[in-house]
Structure 1
């Protein structure tokens, strides 16, 4: 079996990626994934309730996968995949500012504020539940 080549990006390349993402809904996932090493499916499923603002940590307990043509929130495959990540100061400050901005938008827009609709996988042989009221960090 051939080993996959590990690609290491320079700081300049990473900054260029961040600039490209700055006007998209991918920016927050990129900002979380870059220093924390969070995978895309984990970066997109993080909820505001996963953050411990006092300890400056974020708990990773689930993943978001595309399944049966719908985004599905499910538990991680193993217990080892559940962990707390320490938030670096710049990420912590970015998230505090983002939370304040989103809270202002929700207050201003009321019912017009767009909610993310996902399915929740409740386990083997159980029907998925469609929810719209989860407070995701990454929003469109």
Structure 2
């Protein structure tokens, strides 16, 4: 490797090179770290789903809006802070905003199997207020139990 290059006028000038190998090593390490931590991230609130024979849906373009009800009857949504208990007005506003951005977005209800039936019906009325016309229910396949 030449550190000095002879120019036409017969004087020497230093040739600057940047060694990028250490940067590539750092980027590969970061890539591996992100690949390992991504599956660990939780997808919403933990809900014990009821078992039912149902059809698997295909979400090719975008993720659906998932509103969850835990066994204590608290509401959660997969938009924004997923671990924060939300009241009805916030649920209605966030779902309505998602529908205004994409009228064809799918809305799913993920209810715990031990939650009171009235809480799911209450959630359905909130979704109707937000402008949702069709709602899907998330269940767990009996084979996976």
TM-score by length of 1: 0.27
Greater helix proportion = 1
Greater strand proportion = 1
TM-score by length of 2: 0.27
